[in-house]
A and B are shown apart, each in its own frame.
Chain A
Amino acid sequence: EVQLVESGGGLVQPGGSLRLSCAASGFTFSSYSMNWVRQAPGKGLEWVSYISSSSSTIYYADSVKGRFTISRDNAKNSLYLQMNSLRDEDTAVYYCARDASYYTRGNAFDIWGQGTMVTVSS
């Protein structure tokens, strides 16, 4: 079964750091680009970051640029998001999502994890 499982969420104080992980299974992880998408409580979806299959290309949303770092370990079938200098507005459920650019021109996200909650609060 194709699956993504996030972990690492929790409560952190403003200015703190947190590292999220996403474990992939059921497909050849090293062949796919990956993304992080977040959703604040009661709000819509916001794309956060993209990483290509070989880690050669990385993009960030302006809202997290300079504070978040995306990475991956293809040997461990894992995707990561290092979040530093966290702010109240970073409170959200964070999803990892597989990039479907291998069959979609619009680079859709075809597989999603269940999400992990990050709460930034003092």
Chain B
Amino acid sequence: DIQMTQSPSSLSASVGDRVTITCQASQDISNYLNWYQQKPGKAPKLLIYDASNLETGVPSRFSGSGSGTDFTFTISSLQPEDIATYYCQQYDNPTWTFGQGTKVEIK
């Protein structure tokens, strides 16, 4: 089974800061990597699919990059409404695995 290592587990940043989260797969997953945002008490929301594609309606301050085993999720300018936990997700037919999550807080 492919393992996903997401880091950091939590971070604190100021409004306007650039925030970066990484996700590493235990083996090559091409670009089969998605990113989700989950606010407290809410369902996850798809932000980025296939490593770098922005889901319709998602603000352009969110972006993703990477391929193979190493992936990066970036918030270019952190906003108060971005307080949430972010998860990467990989697809390795026929199973899906999520990263451990990164809780983003405002400093």
Q: Is A bound to B?
A: yes
For window 79-107 of B, CB contacts with A under 8 Å fall at 87, 89-91, 94-101
B45 touches A44 (CB 8 A): no
The interface residues of chain A lying within 8 Å CB-to-CB of B97 are 47
Judge if A109 is at the interface, Cβ distance under 8 Å: yes
The interface residues of chain A lying within 8 Å CB-to-CB of B98 are 44-47
Counting chain B residues whose Cβ lies within 8 A of the other chain, the interface size class is: 20 to 34
B49 touches A100 (CB 8 A): yes
Counting chain A residues whose Cβ lies within 8 A of the other chain, the interface size class is: 20 to 34
Judge if B68 is at the interface, Cβ distance under 8 Å: no
Residues on B lying within 8 angstroms of A by beta carbon are 30-34, 36, 38, 42-46, 49-51, 53, 55, 87, 89-91, 94-101
A-B complex: 10 closest residue pairs judged by Cβ atoms: A106-B32, A112-B43, A47-B96, A108-B34, A108-B49, A45-B98, A104-B49, A59-B94, A107-B91, A44-B101
